[in-house]
Amino acid sequence: MITRSDILVLGLTAGVIGSLVGGLMLGVGLGLVIGGQHLGWLLVLPAAPTAGALGYILARKLANKLG
């Protein structure tokens, strides 16, 4: 059975991992774009969906605990 602490840890983990990965992709991508390399857009554009997908994967993992 999933407890409140599991949900709390899921939220904290998803938030921290999502912000680290998304922020890193955004920072490196914008650095490349400002430096004149258009390849950086390939990191900037999917930064937010990638961060959200990590939270979704963690939630699915927790949901599989139920059954």
Residue spans of the domains in the chain: they are: 4-62
- Asked if residue 61 lies in contact with residue 9, where contact means CB atoms within 8 angstroms, the answer is no
> How far lies 21's CA from each of 3, 51, 56, 57, in Å?
27, 6, 14, 14
Predicted confidence (pLDDT) at residue 2 exceeds the cutoff of 80: yes
Predicted confidence (pLDDT) at residue 1 exceeds the cutoff of 90: no
Predicted confidence (pLDDT) at residue 7 exceeds the cutoff of 70: yes
- What are 8-57's pLDDT values in tens digits? 999 999 999 999 999 999 999 999 999 999 999 999 999 999 999 999 99
2 vs 9: CA distance, rounded Å? 11
What is the structure's pLDDT at 63? 87
47 vs 4: CA distance, rounded Å? 29
Residue scoring higher pLDDT (11 or 1) = 11
30 vs 62: CA distance, rounded Å? 34
What is the structure's pLDDT at 67? 64
